[in-house]
Amino acid sequence: MNTDQILKDLQIIVGREFATNSPEDLYIYSQDPGASLPRPVDFVVMPKTTEEVQKIVKLANEEKIPLVPMGGGLTLSGLIIPVKGGIVLDMKRMDQVIEINELSRYALIEPGVSTGQLLAYLNEHHPDLQPAIPDAPPSATIAGNVLIHGSGYLSQKYGDHGAIVNGLEVVLASGEVVKLGSCAVSDYWFARGPIPDLVGLFLSSFGTMGIVTKLSVQIFPKPKFREIVFGLMKDEENIPNLLLEITTKEFIEDVILGKQDKPEWMKGYIFFMVYITGDSQEDIDAKIKILKKIYRKNGARYMKATQKMIDLYIEKPIFASGAADFRKGGGFEYVGANMPLEKIPEA
Ligand SMILES: Cc1cc2nc3c(=O)[nH]c(=O)nc-3n(C[C@H](O)[C@H](O)[C@H](O)COP(=O)(O)OP(=O)(O)OC[C@H]3O[C@@H](n4cnc5c(N)ncnc54)[C@H](O)[C@@H]3O)c2cc1C
């Protein structure tokens, strides 16, 4: 590989500032905050436009260099660290919110738009609408999240985040651009149909099928009231039934369950956080009552959320980021667990 020439070519495509192979830059991109060991990277490039992505893909093809797209780089499982060296294609400069369609309820965005950015944009310009976002740090991108079938806010109600994709613009390995969904046959990005649904080919394929350069995701009405209903239980065997009963209630936005040894009082318990929504406090109270009944029936205990918990989980849902960095001595790995209810006790 003629490293100097390739760097020059990349810099011609994106500008001098946005392509690099300096050791200090490559060091950063050779790792993520998860448990994977660092792996070597040859170049990092930050395109601004679809045309630039096309040119980079064509160059990588000619030179037979692997290409790994990266959003926020926060999946914690080494997905954005090349396996055999090559170019990391950092998409963060493609960060435009192109359109919010209130009527057909979608956001058309570039792949570098972060979850925090879209949330802030909607809060400012469309306060009655909300995106489906993960409980990840706000610098995670919407694209990176939907492309791994992520989950979090609203996933119980509307499906995992792969399900909220209405359409994609993708640069294929050949450098060609394709549009998938209603955007292929109209100016609107409102649905995956009416053409054959090929969006699925690009979900959970980690950039190997193409580089997403635009995407449309559904956005949702924001409920007036939101609350978390905590529960604690000891017996894993009761989880599937409890979850089944909870999730058949239509007022559930999302459910998180887990087990952790800290703080001390949580040791030995499985905890549930059930996010519910409503139009009034009375509405919320009635729903809490229903959940308490389900908890009791399945051997779980209701626990009133303290203000601190509400602050952590609803008001400032970025609680986990501080604890997630392996390099700082903390750490957990997001495994993106997809499994049938039956398998949860074993997990
Ligand atoms: C503290 C913490 C909590 C988390 N909680 C959650 C959670 O609740 N729910 C959840 O789902 N996730 C969670 N995660 C995991 C992860 O942060 C999110 O899923 C996040 O949205 C991934 O987005 P990203 O921009 O970091 O993606 P990246 O890691 O940058 O990319 C993800 C994958 O998509 C590919 N990719 C990225 N951009 C493109 C593109 N334009 N075209 C093609 N392929 C592309 C990458 O190559 C990679 O394979 C958590 C992570 C942390 C650190």
Q: What is the 31 CA–ligand 1 centroid distance (Å)?
A: 14
Are 212 and 237 within one domain? no
- Of 64, 90, 116, the one marking the end of a domain is 90
Give yes or no: residues 215 and 101 share one domain: yes
Residues 164, 216 within the same domain: yes
Tell how far the Cα of 145 is from the centroid of ligand 1, in angstroms: 4
Has residue 286 got a pLDDT over 90? Answer: yes
Q: Does residue 129 have a pLDDT over 90?
A: yes
pTM of the model: 0.93
Q: Mean of the per-residue pLDDT values for the chain?
A: 91
Shared domain for 107 and 141, answered yes or no, is: yes
Angle between helix axes 50-63 and 3-14 (nearest 10 degrees) is 170
Interval between CA 72 and ligand 1 midpoint (Å):
7
| Residue scoring higher pLDDT (270 or 330) | 270
Q: Which atom of ligand 1 is nearest to the CA of 33?
A: 53
Residues with CB under 6 A from ligand 1: 68-76, 79-80, 91, 111, 134-137, 140-141, 143-145, 147-148, 150-152, 206-207, 211-212, 320-321, 324, 334
pLDDT value of position 89: 98
Q: Whose CA is nearest to atom 49 of ligand 1?
A: 206
* 209 and 111 belong to one structural domain: yes
Q: Are residues 193 and 237 in the same domain?
A: no
How much is the pLDDT for 318?
A: 52
Given this model, what pLDDT does residue 186 score? Answer: 97
Percent of the chain surpassing pLDDT 90: 71
Please identify, among 74, 90, 106, the residue that sits at the C-terminal boundary of a domain.
Answer: 90
Nearest residue to 42 (alpha-carbon basis) of 60, 61, 62, 15: 60
Q: Among the three residues 60, 75, 90, which one is the final residue of a domain in this structure?
A: 90
How are beta strands 225-233 and 211-218 bridged, if at all? unpaired
* Residues 214 and 202 occupy one common structural domain: yes
The CATH number of whichever domain residue 232 belongs to comes to 3.30.70.3450
Same domain, 150 and 132: yes
Q: Whose CA is nearest to atom 11 of ligand 1?
A: 150
Which CATH number do you get for residue 14? Answer: 3.30.43.10
| 250, 338: one domain | yes
Residue 333 — very low, low, confident or very high, per pLDDT cuts 50/70/90?
low
Task: State the Cα angle at 213 between 215 and 169, rounded to 5°.
Answer: 60
Task: Specify whether 283 is located in the same domain as 299.
Answer: yes
What pLDDT, on the 0 to 100 scale, is given for residue 320?
55
Model confidence at 321, pLDDT cuts 50, 70, 90, reads low
State the distance from the centre of ligand 1 to the C-alpha of 233, rounded, in angstroms: 30
Residue 323 has pLDDT above 60, yes or no: no
On whether both 210 and 231 belong to a single domain, the answer is no
Going by pLDDT thresholds of 50, 70 and 90, the confidence category of residue 338 is confident
- As for how many domains the chain has, the answer is 3
Sheet of strand 106-109: strand arrangement: 97-101, 106-109, 211-218, 165-171, 177-181
Is the domain of 237 the same as that of 215?
A: no
Q: Taking 80 as the threshold, does the pLDDT of residue 331 lie above it?
A: no
Instruction: Determine the residue of 147, 149, 209 to mutate for testing ligand 1's pocket, defined as the one with the most ligand atoms within 8 A of the Cβ atom.
Output: 147
Q: Give the pLDDT confidence of 212-268 residue by residue, as tens digits.
A: 999 999 999 998 998 899 999 999 999 999 999 998 988 899 898 888 777 788 889
In terms of residue numbers, what domain contains 8?
3-90
Which residue puts its alpha carbon closest to atom 13 of ligand 1?
Answer: 136
